[in-house]
Amino acid sequence: MKAIAAFVLTAVVATSASPCMAQFAKPEDAVKYRQSALSVMGTHFGRIAAMASGKAAYDAKEAADNAAIVEFMSRLPWAGFVEGSDKVGNTKALPEVWSQNAKFKEASEKLMAETTKLNAAAKLGTLEALKAAVASTGGACKNCHDSFRAK
């Protein structure tokens, strides 16, 4: 049943990131939206990463709960990277998000694929499976940050 739920969830959310939903009144709203979504995702990923690194006690249920949220949140931020929202507010998004948009899109898709694997791995209920998936997901975060986010 959980597998079905994950599938439906992924389908629902994946289609939600379509360009026609990228409706923001102002570029500032788009920046706030993407930063908010990334922040929520980061909070929950951070809790799993803390377990994987031994900084927090491993709790299989909490890991799974957090991973489900990470997977869901990973679908959202991309719609906020609308044209004209570079150099807006306190964004750290580099111009490469738009000038190398295919590469950016690929990096975002890589992250989404990794968070899906993370969610599945967290449900296995072992710290070992979690550690491997956290490393892969963290790599996908870093990959995108290195190329598309200002230091």
Site of interaction with a second copy (CB under 8 A) = 1-2, 4-5, 7-9, 12-13, 15-16, 20-21, 23-24, 29, 32-33, 35-37, 39-40, 43, 47, 56, 61-62, 64-66, 68-69, 72, 76
Asked if residues 28 and 88 have their Cβ atoms less than 8 Å apart, the reply is yes
Nearer to a second copy, 13 or 124 (CB): 13
Token pair recorded at residue 52: 């994987």
Nearer to a second copy, 12 or 109 (CB): 12
The Cα–Cα gap between 42 and 20 comes to 26
State the Cα angle at 47 between 123 and 140, rounded to 5°: 75
Q: Measured from the CB of residue 33, what is the shortest distance to a second copy in angstroms? A: 5
Q: How far is CA 35 from CA 42, 93, 135, in A?
A: 10, 10, 23
Nearer to a second copy, 33 or 104 (CB): 33
Q: Measured from the CB of residue 30, what is the shortest distance to a second copy in angstroms? A: 9
**Cα dihedral sign, 42-10-114-86:** negative
Q: Measured from the CB of residue 17, what is the shortest distance to a second copy in angstroms? A: 9
Q: Measured from the CB of residue 94, what is the shortest distance to a second copy in angstroms? A: 22
Q: Measured from the CB of residue 25, what is the shortest distance to a second copy in angstroms? A: 9
State the Cα angle at 19 between 102 and 111, rounded to 5°: 50
Asked if residues 140 and 89 have their Cβ atoms less than 8 Å apart, the reply is no
Nearer to a second copy, 13 or 135 (CB): 13
Nearer to a second copy, 17 or 129 (CB): 17
